[in-house]
Structure formats: C-alpha cells, structure tokens
C-alpha cells in the first residue's frame, strides 16, 4: 500500500510538471555564458559562477549581471539524446572555473521558481 501511494504521488507530480513545463517555453532562446562570470569580489556572496545572457560571443566577461549565480549549475534540460553529455560538460566547466557559451533558454519554473537552463547546444568555450 505504501509503495503504491508513493508511486501515485510521484505520477501526479510528474504529470503536473509535464503540463507546466510545456507552458513554460515562453522564455526566448538566446546565448548564455555558463560557468565563470568574470566577476571577482572581495566579500561574499560573489556571483563568480553563473548563467549570463549575452547578445553575442564578443560580450566581455563581467560586463553583464548573471541571471543566475550559485555554487552549482541550475537544472539542465535538453533533448533526451543529448542530456547526459551536456550535463557532464557544463558541470565539468562549472567545477573547473571555466566558461562555456551555450544556445538555449533560461527561466524559473514552478511555485519555487527553480532555475532551469534548457540547452539546445554548446557552442564552445567563452572568449575572454
């Protein structure tokens, strides 16, 4: 009984999330610097790692405020066949203090405003 109740609750949460996720595609696609933001601080908290929207690859690091900053990357979403590879590359760059230029969408979903980066593709390392 306990296991079936948990399965039912999990299925309900997934169904609600799936219908909401389809509606959350309103964020326009664009370019993002993911990882090192170029920001350096003398005091904490410091947004030195994050997701920064940019108009093009030539935008200098540290000139645009991050849409998200934290110790870990936001939730990464992508096509199922690319998801594991994209997550590994983004986490590797994040942990190493590197930066990747990606094309995708960034928004905050749900009542908790969970930050989600939906990645179409990784373009390559950020130009400095």
6-24 pLDDT, tens digit each: 443 333 333 434 434 444 4
Q: Is residue 46 predicted with pLDDT exceeding 50? A: yes
Q: What is the pLDDT of residue 37?
A: 87
Contact 75, 85 (CB under 8 A): no
Q: What is the pLDDT of residue 68?
A: 92
Q: How many percent of the chain have pLDDT more than 70? A: 77
> Residue 108 and residue 49: Cα distance in Å, rounded?
18
Q: What is the pLDDT of residue 26?
A: 59
């Amino acid at each position: 009984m306990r296991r079936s109740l948990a399965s039912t609750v999990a299925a309900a949460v997934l169904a609600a999330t799936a219908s909401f996720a389809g509606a959350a595609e309103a964020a326009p696609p664009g370019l993002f610097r993911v990882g090192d933001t170029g920001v350096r601080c003398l005091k904490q908290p410091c947004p030195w790692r994050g997701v920064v929207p940019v108009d093009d690859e030539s935008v200098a690091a540290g000139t645009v405020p991050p849409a998200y900053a934290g110790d870990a990357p936001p939730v990464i979403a992508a096509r199922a066949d690319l998801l594991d590879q994209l997550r590994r590359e983004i986490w590797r760059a994040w942990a190493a203090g590197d930066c990747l230029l990606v094309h995708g969408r960034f928004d905050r979903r749900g009542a908790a405003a969970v930050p989600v980066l939906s990645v179409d593709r990784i373009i390559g390392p950020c130009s400095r």
